[in-house]
Amino acid sequence: MWYLESYDNQTDLIADSYPLTAITGDEIRELIDVDETELPLEMGPYPVPLADVPKFAKYIEGDFRISSDNEYFIGLFTD
């Protein structure tokens, strides 16, 4: 499953992990600029610019909070 994860800049720990329901690799490519010249998308995680984070809200069920104190990454992780 694809996840959007936020890391606290002060602690470098995961602050939140959001499962992205029903998103595809093609949709991710459309939402953010992914450089796949060296590794395929599935080999992420890839950084998500703060300005692009809200684009993922429609794929997240439940509470979703965006913090400018965090860095965001998207990756394909097993459950």
What per-residue confidence (pLDDT) applies to 1?
A: 92
Task: Say if strands 46-48 and 70-76 run parallel, antiparallel, or are unpaired.
Answer: antiparallel
* Beta carbons within 10 angstroms of residue 55's beta carbon: 15
Backbone angles phi, psi at 51, to 5 degrees: -65, -25
Which DSSP category does 10 fall into? T
Q: Tell me which CATH homologous superfamily contains domain 2-76.
A: Cloacin immunity protein (3.10.50.20)
What per-residue confidence (pLDDT) applies to 16?
A: 95
Q: Where are the domains of the chain?
A: 2-76
What per-residue confidence (pLDDT) applies to 79?
A: 62
Alpha-carbon distance of 44 to 39, in angstroms, equals 8
Mean pLDDT by 10 residues, the chain (79 residues): 95 95 92 86 91 96 95 87
